[in-house]
Chains A and B, each alone.
Chain A
Amino acid sequence: MAALLEVENLRVTFPTPRGPVDVVRGISFSLGRERLGIVGESGSGKSMTGRSILKLVRPPGRVTADRLQFGTTDLLRVTERQMRTIRGARISMVMQDPKFSLNPVMTIGAQIAEALRTHQKLPRRTLRERVLAMLESVRISEPERVAALYPHEVSGGMGQRVMIAMMLIPEPEILIADEPTSALDVSVQAQVLDIIDDLVSRKGMGLILISHDLNLVAEYCDRILVMHGGQVVESCAARDLAKASHPYTRGLLAAMPRIDETREMLPVLDRGAWGQA
């Protein structure tokens, strides 16, 4: 399988008064036309990994890598202008909270159209048709009505589907979804992930799903990277997650209460057990 994206020895560093701090400490992975999950707790560097692929780490943060290859493009060498033709069009990103990621003063239809128009010149009628078709494919039942609404007029779940529509309308090769459902209700989460899953597999895209939720990632991904303290501590097939060997992964799995819970106390991670926490 040809890799869509190859990352080698990726580091993200932020300067602090007490010297530079590495938030991502030399991680390597490759992504094909598959669903890759990155899990970890707050501060594990999982979001920074996603952002550095799109070169969205703001200064004074610095990204270095031995290799950051996207198809035939070397992402380490592209200019900001070239990057803008990649961002959104070929690699796009769904953010966590639709409330803060949608433009509040633009209608939903106009925002989705803008995502497409930025990268392609299309006649107005085609543009509108594509927008409505896209809204329909994220299972919005009345696309014409919803296209005319403003973001505050729709629910969180619908807002997130609008975000997904916007990110997928230019038909990118890679979709990075950073906690796409953690601002949503449990019952809506599954629905949103099913839509992402369906579109990603239908269009043969690569998906990077970033989340803190092990169960969710295990269910929706083929392969999982577990991150802790800026490093990948475990990499395994999703179906083998329960057999994970690293103490951190096993600790996380054991610390989650289960629906048929009978344990008196939950085992707690011993943070000293594997170096720094």
Chain B
Amino acid sequence: MNALDLAGLDVFYRETQVTYGIDLAIAEGESFALVGESGSGKSTVLKAIAGLAPQWRGRIAVLGQERSHGIDRGFARRCQMVFQDPYGSLHPRKTVDATLSEPLAIHRIGDADRRVTQMLDAVGLDPRFRFRFPHQLSGGQRQRVAIARALMLEPKILLLDEPTSALDVSVQAEILNLLKRLRREQGLTYLLVTHNLPVVSFLCDRLAVMRGGRILEVADAGRLRAGTLEHSYSRDLLATSGSHALAPALETSLDAD
């Protein structure tokens, strides 16, 4: 059974059609990336799955169960989303504890105290942060809280919308490591949206290149690392990301010590 199945997904914002016939099958435990420029429709696909863009037609199925167009509690238990900007996605007047307990209260899950403590530990936050407000945390700590919030209901699938692009390089590394570890420990499936191709190399097994609301190419991350993507546009995207230039020189110098 696939973790996520999309078939002929067309998403609209009012009269404007944003994506055209998206077909994707993501296996359980897989980490899959959607890459492309702004306006390519990659975030829209995530929003449609999460229920934030309800005007769609086609098929969205999570773990074999079709998603309805409305609010779907059972769906929320299986699939959660982490947003790009940790400054905007946490309620400024709720403590970390309140943010993490709320999904439990909505779904009538008990044992909140133990679950919150456990989750803080899982995402690498010290227990003293539990009763702080978002403004008392750094960007990286906030993103940890956002990830913790998404994981409170023990979902099987995480939708990640540019989870590290608002963070500094050194903090980005910490969050990427965290995401990789959590996936291994909890057997999660990731659908990641990003324009940062090195992040895809680090975190993902496969990727789809999107442009103008269509998928141009689906490839293994190995092809990305080797620079052998097939579509000419994918190659352009790879060329502009430009990290190849510095990488070999760095490798030799790191080997030196």
Contacts and interface: CB of A to CB of B under 8 A. Distances in A.
Interface of A: 41-42, 156, 185-187, 189-190, 212, 214-216, 218-219, 241-243, 250-269
Nearest to B180: A265
Interface string B92-105: 00000000000000
21 contacts: A41-B168, A186-B241, A187-B236, A190-B242, A212-B169, A215-B243, A215-B246, A216-B242, A219-B242, A253-B250, A256-B169, A257-B176, A258-B243, A258-B250, A259-B225, A259-B247, A261-B202, A261-B225, A266-B202, A268-B173, A268-B177
Interface of B: 37-38, 139, 168-174, 176-177, 180-181, 195-199, 201-202, 224-227, 236-238, 240-247, 249-250, 252-254
Contacts of A258: 198, 201, 243, 247, 250
A241 B245 CA distance: 12
Q: Tell me which of A41, A212, A258 has the highest count of chain B C-beta atoms within 10 A of its own C-beta.
A: A258
A255 B169 contact: yes
A265 B238 CA distance: 23
A214 B201 CA distance: 19
A268 B243 contact: no
Contacts of A257: 173, 176, 198-199, 201-202
Nearest to B254: A254
A267 B173 contact: yes
Given A215-B242, A257-B199, A259-B241, A251 B170 contact: yes
B33 to A, nearest CB: 12
Contacts of B168: 41-42, 212
B244 A259 contact: yes
Q: Tell me which of B176, B226, B250 has the highest count of chain A C-beta atoms within 10 A of its own C-beta.
A: B250
Given A186-B37, A186-B240, A187-B237, A242 B249 contact: yes
A138 to B, nearest CB: 19
A258 to B, nearest CB: 5
Nearest to B165: A182
Contacts of A218: 245-246
A255 B170 contact: yes
Closest 7 CB pairs of A and B: A255-B173, A242-B249, A261-B201, A257-B202, A266-B173, A257-B198, A41-B168
A94 B254 CA distance: 35
Contacts of B195: 185-186
Nearest to A191: B240
Contacts of B245: 215, 218-219
Nearest to A156: B38
A214 to B, nearest CB: 7
Contacts of B173: 255-257, 266-269
A185 B38 contact: yes
A98 to B, nearest CB: 14
Q: Tell me which of A156, A218, A255 has the highest count of chain B C-beta atoms within 10 A of its own C-beta.
A: A255
B113 to A, nearest CB: 30
B169 A187 contact: no
B170 A259 contact: no
Nearest to A41: B168
B243 A41 contact: no
Contacts of A216: 242
Contacts of A190: 240, 242
Given A251-B170, A257-B202, A266-B202, A185 B37 contact: yes
B197 A187 contact: no
A260 B247 contact: yes
Contacts of B177: 265-266, 268
B166 to A, nearest CB: 10
A263 B201 CA distance: 10
Contacts of B172: 255-256
Contacts of B38: 156, 185
A205 B60 CA distance: 55
A260 B199 contact: no
B41 to A, nearest CB: 14
B12 to A, nearest CB: 22
Contact of A260 (B170, B180, B226, B236): B226
A187 B240 contact: yes
Nearest to A263: B202
Contacts of A266: 173, 176-177, 202
A11 B174 CA distance: 31
A256 B241 contact: no
A254 B256 CA distance: 14
